[in-house]
Amino acid sequence: MATAPVSRRLNLTRDQLSAFLTDQQQIRQFELLFQNINLLPVESGGTGQSTYTDGDLLIGSTPGLAKNKLTAGTGISVTNGAGTIALAITNTTVTPASYTYASFTVDAQGRVTAAASGIAPVTAVTGVAPIASTGGLTPAISLNDTTVTPGNFTFASITVDAKGRLTAASSGNPLSGGISATITTAKLTALGADGSMTFTNGLLTAQTPAT
C-alpha cells in the first residue's frame, strides 16, 4: 500500500535560500519568485500594491482594488499621517463669540458664515411728564391733566407752561373807559341810507346796516 506524500513547509529567507544556490540563473529565478510573493495579485487574495504613502486607502474598483486617498469636500479638511487620517471642519470667517439679538448667514452645509449682534428690542415704554404711559409692550399713551377747569373763558387771564399748555385760566371783566363812539357806514346805493355801528367802552352795542 502506497504512502501519501507528506507536505512540509520550509521557511527560508531570500538570503538563506541563496546560500544553497550556486548557479546565477537559479538565483535570478528565485529572486523573481520572491518579487511575485511580495506583490500578491488581487485574484490570489493580495492587494496588488507594493508601495503606499500616508493616507492611502484600498477601495473596490472593478475588477479589483484601487489605491486612493480621501478627498476633502466643502467645509472639510483632510490631514494624512503615518497610519492616520484626520478629518476636521474648516474654519469660517466668523469670530468665535457670544452674540445677542443676532443676525447671521448660514451656508449650504449649515455653517454660520457671518454673524453680528443686533439692538435689543423694546420691552417697555414709559412716559415723562406731562406724557403718561401704562407701560409694557402695548402701552396706552396719554397727556396728563392740568388743574385748569375745562370751560369757556371771557376777558381771560391765563398761565402757559414751557410745553405750551394752559396751567391756569380765569375769566375777567370787560374793559372800562374804553372807546365809546358811533361809526357811520356809507350807504350802498344812491337812494339808500347810511348805516351805523355804536361802541360802548370798546364793545359793539348796536349796529344798523347800510342800504
At 107, which amino acid appears? D
- The pLDDT of 166-195, averaged and rounded, is 75
Instruction: With a cut of 80, say whether residue 17 has pLDDT above it.
Output: no
Instruction: Look at residue 98 in the predicted model and tell me its pLDDT.
Output: 95
- The pLDDT of 35-57, averaged and rounded, is 69
CB 135 within 8 A of CB 123: no
- The pLDDT of 97-122, averaged and rounded, is 93
Provide the whole-model pTM: 0.42
CB under 8 Å to 73, separation ≥6 — which residues? none
CB atoms within 10 A of CB 135: 13
Instruction: With a cut of 80, say whether residue 184 has pLDDT above it.
Output: no
Q: Which residues pair with 149 in a beta bridge?
A: none
Instruction: With a cut of 70, say whether residue 12 has pLDDT above it.
Output: no
